[in-house]
Structure formats: structure tokens, C-alpha cells
Amino acid sequence: MARDTWATRIGFILAAVGSAVGLGNIWRFPWLTAANGGGAFLIVYLVVIFVVGVPGLLAALVIGRRANRNPIDAFRTLSNGSRAWPLLGVLFLVTTVVLLSFYSVVGGWTLNYIVASFTGAYGGDPGTYYEAINFGTTALLYQALFLLLTAIIVGLGVRRGIEMGTKVMMPALIVLLVAISIWAAIQPGAIEGYVYYFTFDPATVVANLPSILPAAVGQAAFTLSVGNGAMITYASYIGEDHSLPVDGSAIAVLNTLIGVLAGLVVFPLLFVFTGGPGSGGPGTVFVSLAAGFAALPYGNLLGVAFYAVIALAALSSSISMLEIPVSYLIDEYDVGRRTVTFGLLVLVLVTGATNSLNGELFTFASGPLVSMLMTAGFIGLLLFAGWVLRSEAIAEFTLGAGPVADVVAKLWLALVSVALPLFLGYSLLQSILGVVGVSVGWTVTISVTLVLGILCFGFLYRQHPDTVLNPTSTPEKPNDD
């Protein structure tokens, strides 16, 4: 069965940006920012995005286009039939199921709130309304509707479904965000929101770095879709005439701008309506902002527009998540796209029901669990590009990118081989220690990270000495058969 491809370059970029933006920027980012000190978290997050996220995104694009396969087959093919590396692809599939299981719950909330904004259902007491619909039978029904919309788009294919859908959804999302941000800017009290959002306090960062850094890294992996194989899957559909550095940078910049724009909507409105961001939490934009919309003369219309933005963002990301297992089953078993898409819809609905019916499991899955899974996948992605592919990675990085890419590629390879895996390893270790409730000093954590890193690098060198010692030797690119 012939693989789908993107019809246009802009179609790929918009689809990738849609995957990256999603709920990560408009729902998860505000409550993580509120829970981690406002501007302190924003600065750390922006640094992580461009220093760590962009090189990681390029690694995913390199692997995807080089293999022209789904994540599991990509790691198997590019590692010359290794039994171990495809397990990284399996981790991506597991992470995707976890993501979709809680993501579709929030997607269902957005659909519910669009309807509730029309009817004024949450107007009396938004807090009570949210507690009534966030988990339980109502949440499950809206989750099923959200997953059905996702499956319909994915079932139509890469060009007629994903590409066409994101070409409509992304411009609509940006227009709505800009319009609401302009309206928010002229409201009394909005300035306090901007001050909170953009004020950087170095002392806060230093004092809370062990908690801020893992959250920022997890959010970067989450929002750029580099820790679950989505970008590998999307890149497997692009041609060799694309410049991966240009496309990757465009995706990261657009994603970050939309994320910052979302903050320019959420934080001013939080201060206008409630006087502050509170302590954060998954319900931030569904309680605090709903209360404000309910108090305005035409707040129902603004509420519809705002929750439509979140719904579009959620849908643009959920289709990229579902496409990961869909592409694997199509590549591996040559089954029809629609058959496998709706079969997976049933599977994800079953696993997702555990999140829509259990608030504690949802909170754990949407917070520390997904951050740890995506960070672990991110580390594996970098190690594969830097130690297994190496010369192939440079060849793919520079393909169609012009002469400047030859110089940039060497710096990029050094980052993804050693520096970034060590940085992410430290962050992952901090996350694990936080979950198990163990507190140790920075010196101990850094020392353990370095020891584990040296052991890992030594093992990879022993397994792949030729790729390390002969970085200019470029094997032939695998064919599509």
C-alpha cells in the first residue's frame, strides 16, 4: 500500500505546528506557569524550548524523513534490524496512548464548555459546574465525541484529512486568539496579568529550579511533540526537497509565539476576573475564566470563542497522536486506514475512560507521568540520532538545506549526542525523585546523572564504534519497499 505524503510544504508546517500547539500551550501551559511562579517558569521554559527543544525536534525530523516509516519501523530499519532500538518506538506508542487517554478528556471538556457557553449552564456557579462535569458519565460522553471527531479526520488520510483540517483549524485558532488577546488588553486590571506573566525573578528560579526545570522540560517535550514520536511520523511523509532546519525552526517559532499569545489571553483575564492566577491546576481555564465570561453582558459569545480556540488546539494535536499507531499498523500489516483508525478509537476510548472516570488518575497522568514518559522518549531520540545514525543524521540534516547547514549540523550533532541527553537525564532524575518523595541536593543529582551518562555513552560507543569513529561515512538511505 502506497504511503500518503503531504501535498504542500505549508500543509506539513501547519500540521506540525498544530500538533505542537494543542492543549500544551493553551491549557497545560497556563496552569503549569501559575503553579511554578509565573515569569520564572516562562523564562526557563523559553530557554529550554530553543536550546533543547529545537535540536530535539530536528532529531525527530531527521529520523522520520530518513526512514520514511512510523517510529517502531524507523528505529528497526535505521539500526539495521536491532531488537533493542524498536523498543523506543514501543515507548512512544505507550506514551501516545497515555496522552490520548487524558488529552481526550480535556478535549471533551472544551466541547462541553462550548455548549455550556451557548446555554449559560455554568453561569450560576462555574466551580460547581466544573466539579459536576469534569469526571464521570458526562465527561465520558464528551470524551467519546471528541475522539470520534479525531478519528474522522485521521480516517480521511494525510492529505484529505490531517492536512486539509489543519489548514483550516490553525488560521482560525490564531485569528481567534489575536482577537481575544486584543479584547483582554483593554480590560481594567489586565496590566497586573502582564506584570505577573513577564516579570522574571532570578531568586525564584534559583530557589525552585528542582521543580521548575522538570516541569519546563516536560512541557517542551509535550508541546513540541518530540517525546512521543508524532514528529517522526509526520516527517516520514515529507520529501527530500524540504530544508529540515528551516521547517523545524519555523515550527518551533510559530509554536512558541502561539504559546506566548495564549498567555496574553489567559493571564490578563485571570487577573481581570479573579484578581490572580491562583495555584494553577487542570481546571484553571475552566473555572476562573468561565466565572468571568458569565459575569459579562455578552460573555456567552466570548466564552464560545475562547473554548472554540481550545477545542481547535486540542483537535489539531489529537489527530497527530492518533496518527502514530495508525501509521504503524498500516505500514506493518497493510490494513485499511479507516478500519484501523476506528479500531483504535475503541481502544483509546476504553483506556481513556479510566481518566474520565477517575480524577486522581487523570491528575497523575496529565502531570508527572506524561512528563517522565516524554522526557525518557526525548532522551532516547537524541541518543539514537547522535550515536546510531550520526553520519546518516548529518546527511539527512543537510539534505536540501544549503551550505550553511553543513556547519550547523556539526554543532547540532554535538548537542544531541552528549550535552542535551545529560541535561534531560538530570531533569528526568529530578522528576523521578519528586514522584517517589526523595529529596537530595543538586550535587548528588548531578553526580548520579554524570555517572549514568558516562556508562550509557560508553555502552553506545562499544555498540556503534564505526559511526563514532567515521562520522563522514554515510550509508545508503533505506528505500521505501
What does pLDDT average to in each consecutive run of 10 residues of the chain (481 residues)? 62 70 72 74 85 90 89 89 89 89 91 90 83 92 94 78 70 81 86 84 76 78 79 83 84 83 82 69 72 77 84 82 86 84 90 89 84 89 91 86 79 90 89 82 86 90 65 55 50
In tens, the pLDDT along 239-259 reads 777 788 888 888 888 888 888
Q: Which residues in 98-124 are b (16+ Cβ under 10 Å) and which e?
A: bbbbbbbbbbbbbbbbbebbeeebbbe
Closest C-alpha to 243, from 477, 408, 400: 400
Contacts of 357 (CB under 8 A, 6+ apart): 135, 136, 139, 140
Angle at 13 between CA 51 and CA 227, to 5 degrees: 50
The answer to whether the Cα torsion of 471, 474, 477, 478 is positive or negative is negative
Residue 90 pLDDT: 92
Cα atoms in the Cβ-side hemisphere of radius 13 Å centred on 237? 27
Instruction: Return the CATH fold of 9-469.
Output: Amino acid/polyamine transporter I (1.20.1740)
For the chain, the domains span 9-469
Say what angle helices 202-223 and 420-436 make with each other, to 10 degrees.
100
Residue 145 pLDDT: 95
Return the C-alpha cell found at 348.
Answer: 483509546
Q: End-to-end alpha-carbon separation of the chain, Å?
A: 10
pTM of the model: 0.83
In tens, the pLDDT along 71-102 reads 888 999 998 888 889 999 999 988 988 888 98
Residue 469 pLDDT: 46
> What kind and span of H or E run contains 373?
helix 370-383
E-strand ranges in 255-379 read: none
Q: How many residues are listed for the chain in this entry?
A: 481
Q: Are 79 and 388 in contact (CB under 8 A)?
A: yes
